[in-house]
Amino acid sequence: MVRTAKALTMLTVLLCGVCAAEDWPQFRGIRRDGKSTETGLLKQWPAGGPKLLWETHGLGDGYTSAAISQGSVYITGLIGKEGVVRAFDLDGKLKWQRAYGPEWLRSYRATRSTPTVEGDRMYILSGMGVVYCLSTLDGRQTWSRDLFSEYDGQYPTWGMSEQILIEGDTVICTPGGRRASIAALNKMTGEVVWACDALTETSAYCSPQVVEIGGTRLMVTMLRDSVAGLDVRTGRLLWRDSLDEYYTSRNRPIHPNIPIIHEGRVFTTAGYDNGGAMLQLSADGSKARRIWTTKTLDPHHGHVVLLNGYLYGSTWQSNTRGGWACIRWSDGKVMYESDWNGNKGSVVYADGMLYCYGEKDGDLALVRPTPERFDIVSSFRITRGEGMYWAHPSISDGRLYVRHGDWLMVYDIAAK
């Protein structure tokens, strides 16, 4: 069911032309760093939050975010025992829906993988470890590959929760198998291009990130026991940094936050008081050495945002409580650690502001990014939906997309 606010007229769209729009075609945006380049957005919200443009429910159980690409919105949910992907137009009208295959039915049963969209194809990794390539036109399956079974995968406690990475002509995923931890598939056919059998660690819910450094196309991800760097063209293991020396909660192999790579350095972090570490890469990315660690910035699964030399994100006090912190990129110095009604959660950024989505009560805050304090400008509460507030917000074309349970809400955040 969809309820739509009065549609924007073409005149309104033209008047909003100062807003530089950008798609959000995968988890955490185009660059997988939680940042949008959009401008012309509100710097303060009205009382009660920004205007609701449309909302829809009946998506099914899911912790996935909305992917927005070329005028369509894609989102997944668990219906019965199968994952279902739906496509909406920008006014909330359902274009199509299609089941893609069996989904995770054990602890916290729900879909986990936000579609990664490129052109007329999208890629989804089910909680069971099967990679699906679907048409964005109607959701029909182009190919699928059960990498989990092929490489003798080992399920983490809450199923496979990775977001597929498109890299050139391949898609990258982490079956976490005894035969290979990471594999690359031809994105058009699903054929295996390479598999890294030098790593046989279990997947730890992390989605990889890539960077070009000194002629090397470097991929970095977190596995159960290490941070690993691979040559993404060949799958060759370049380096591995063990977590044993600074992670204290070894019974908590939960490392879902995408690594931040910037100016020849890599920052990784996880919750459960494990904290994070900064690695310095060699000039060609073939080596890495740890230069500092932190126990302060340790988001459970809300990720972090890097802005102007500072890292922003939430902290872990327990599975249900946390705070918010800022640390300095150069040396890990703690700039602040702040409480917000016991909330921890996810964070994204656009047009000079942080969007912090608290997972305790569904509070959503517009926060001024400053290393001086956790500076909330506006906030409101998401009241639709049930269950955990674990989906991350998406931002595209002056709109804020927020998922909770089987509901999706779309808000107008463009400055008129």
Q: What is the pLDDT of residues 14-73, one digit of tens each?
A: 334 445 689 999 999 999 999 999 999 999 999 999 999 999 999 999 999 999 999 999
Residue 248: its pLDDT value, please? 82
* Secondary-structure class of domain 63-205 per CATH: mainly beta
How many CB atoms neighbour CB 39 within 10 A?
A: 16
Residue 416: its pLDDT value, please? 84
**Three-state SS at 32:** coil
Q: Which distant-in-sequence residues (6+ apart) come within 8 Å of 53 by Cβ?
A: 4, 5, 8, 92, 399, 410, 411, 412
Say if residue 341's pLDDT is above 70. Answer: yes
Say if residue 386's pLDDT is above 50. Answer: yes
Residue 19: its pLDDT value, please? 52
Q: Are the C-beta atoms of residues 348 and 392 closer than 8 Å to each other?
A: yes
Measured over the CA atoms of residue 349, residue 355, residue 360 and residue 362, the dihedral's sign is negative
Sheet holding 363-368, edge to edge: 35-36, 345-350, 353-358, 363-368, 375-381
CA distance 163 to 239: 22
| 94-118 exposure pattern, b = at least 16 Cβ within 10 A, e = fewer | ebebbebbebbeeebebbbbbbbbe
Backbone angles phi, psi at 357, to 5 degrees: -110, 105
Report DSSP state, residue 71: T
% pLDDT > 90, the chain: 92
Q: What is the pLDDT of residues 67-102, one digit of tens each?
A: 999 999 999 999 999 999 999 999 999 999 999 999
What mean pLDDT do residues 406-412 have? 98
Q: Which distant-in-sequence residues (6+ apart) come within 8 Å of 375 by Cβ?
A: 367, 368
Say if residue 359's pLDDT is above 50. Answer: yes
How many CB atoms neighbour CB 174 within 10 A?
A: 33
Say if residue 401's pLDDT is above 70. Answer: yes
- Dig out the tokens for 234 from the structure: 């060949």
Residue 107: alpha-carbon gap to chain centroid:
20
